[in-house]
A and B are shown apart, each in its own frame.
Chain A
Amino acid sequence: MKGLAAIYRRELAGLFLAPLAWILLLVVLFYQAYFFLLVLSNPSRGPEVNEALSLVLGGGYPFWLLLLTLAPLLTMRMISEESRSGLLEFLLTAPVADGAVVVGKAMAATTFLALAWSSAFLFGLLVQFLGAPPDWGQLFTAWLGASLASGLFCALGLVSSALFSTPLLAAFMAILANIAMFALPPLVRSLHGPAGALLAQVLERIDVFRHFQGSFQAGVLDSAHVIFFLAWTAAALFLAVRVVESRRWLG
């Protein structure tokens, strides 16, 4: 897509030039360090490095809590605020497809998160230096999975940002949607009765954690699970583009 690279670069620069990004990075570092050390100091298990690394990269709920709130915070302004300030008018009258604009923004936010998650590599280097080499393959797949999941939640955040006109409202709704997407399948699975079972079967298809756990967390690249994330990300991006488009129609 023409112009995609330009938009992507601009958005990335925009993210890193704003203080919010650095504050979020700092928060991520502290948060991850806290849980990493928490696992390592678990007396009944001993300082096992792989488990600790897995926890900070999607193996446990703290990570998902972080991701579910972080992605909307990054994307909340991307469309809603630009639409207010007129920047969207600038972008959408440039000879660039709407899709490229939305995808470029999503990619920038995802890149930021992927970068934040790669702090786990630094943790890995550190423990390797301290004499406990981690399983790099597993670390890599977990990072990849975390980044793919970030892409999905950023895309959802963009949908919300396109739907709602104030960034805060957009972030709030996106966080709600993310939590629903993440927590609904396991909740429904514990329902009983035939209706519950059917619903659980349907919701299986959006079960982020299960698709993450079964492969990325364990150190496996599974084409089906990669496609799971890519497919939903694509669907969310498509939706975001459609919403941006209908905003034009509605004015």
Chain B
Amino acid sequence: MIDVQHLSRRFGPHLAVDDISFRLERGEVVGFLGPNGAGKTTTMRMLTGFLPPSGGTVRVDGFDVLKDSLAVRARIGYLPESVPLYRELRVQEMLWFQGRLRGLSRAEARRRTGVVLERVGLAERARSLIGCLSKGQRQRVGLAVALLPEPEVLVLDEPTSGLDPLQRLEVRALIRELSKERTVLLSSHILPEIEATCPRVIILQRGHIAADGTQTELVARLGGGGFVRLELARPVELERARTDLAALSGVHSVEAQLLADGNAACEVRGEGDLRGALGALAHARGWTVRELSWQRPTLEKLFTHIAFELEHEHPAGSVRAAPPSAEGAA
């Protein structure tokens, strides 16, 4: 549905997006993840035709963004980061205006207005002035505006920013629901957001694609950092414990340290979940176990890992997980 090839964009001397390529299949839900200034918004603006790329091509449903700009724009529902809305209009008027812009008939625009307002949970605020709404409500109006034309592709730039936790859950649920019918590309700099909604993640870092794949894939391939946490009650012979643990088969590294209260905490990394082997060892040695737990590998770890790596080692050499995914919807 969306095919991005070697896309780059400069602002003067500054390279905001540097040669990125990816594909989105119809019905896929993809999260753009990256710290502030990574180039998420810039990329989305290029996808929607607002910014022309400095290099590379973007095709949406086979149409080139530059050459068939109007055809591309007609297929995309876009929620910009700033949630632009006319403050002096009422909610329903804003939606009708969007309907007219998209060439909907009057009746159709009114029908869909009811539907999308219901969906974003603002049905009873249809006649409110947008200027009088709260930030979160405006965010949802913006979402409604993007949804109104029932586009094949939804591009949502930080759709949950400014929402309270409850609303966030609602929006997440909404996006999950939408993902059944449409291709969705959403961006966020908040990890749990992406984790909760997007099976596939593209991590952007300083204009590069740092990682691209499904969450499990990424975690697996990059060793997102799953480990077993073992806490032993005092008295502990720390060095001894460390060598014992390290000697176990399958263990790669052990970090052990004495806690303030005299207990010892160990992080054991190795091949997968080693809780069984560790439990057996503790039993054999007669250690008093305060905690034995499996710390799941997380995107966050991966994310900080990548960010750290790029910051300090080789900015250009991105950690490419997989070729642009072609696995279809998750």
A interface with B by C-beta (< 8 Å): 2-3, 5-7, 9-10, 13-14, 17-18, 82, 85-97, 248-249, 251
Main SS class of interface, A: helix
| Contact A86–B80 (Cβ < 8 Å) | yes
| Contact A10–B86 (Cβ < 8 Å) | yes
- Expressed in whole angstroms, the Cα–Cα distance for A18 and B100 within the complex equals 22
Nearest B residue (CB) for A251: B11
Q: Chain B interface: which size bin? A: 20 to 34
* Residue B78 interfacial (CB < 8 Å): yes
| Contact B86–A14 (Cβ < 8 Å) | yes
- Among listed B18-26, B43-51, B227-235, B290-298, interface-contacting one: B43-51
* Residue B289 interfacial (CB < 8 Å): no
B101 to chain A, nearest CB (A): 5
| Contact A96–B84 (Cβ < 8 Å) | no
User: What 3 A-B pairs have minimum CB-CB distances, sorted nearest first?
Assistant: A86-B82, A6-B100, A86-B84
| Contact B73–A2 (Cβ < 8 Å) | no
* A92 / chain B contacts, CB cutoff of 8 Å: 49-50
Nearest B residue (CB) for A89: B80
* B74 / chain A contacts, CB cutoff of 8 Å: 95
- Expressed in whole angstroms, the Cα–Cα distance for A102 and B70 within the complex equals 16
| Contact B100–A9 (Cβ < 8 Å) | yes
Which of B9, B71, B84, B102 has its CB near the most chain A CB atoms (within 10 A)? B84
* Residue B52 interfacial (CB < 8 Å): yes
* A93 / chain B contacts, CB cutoff of 8 Å: 48-50, 73, 76, 78, 80
27 A-B contacts (beta carbon < 8 Å): A3-B101, A3-B103, A5-B100, A6-B100, A6-B101, A10-B86, A10-B97, A13-B89, A13-B93, A85-B82, A86-B80, A86-B82, A86-B83, A87-B84, A89-B45, A89-B50, A89-B82, A90-B78, A90-B80, A90-B145, A93-B50, A94-B101, A95-B70, A95-B74, A96-B70, A96-B73, A97-B70
* B78 / chain A contacts, CB cutoff of 8 Å: 90, 93
* A248 / chain B contacts, CB cutoff of 8 Å: 50-52
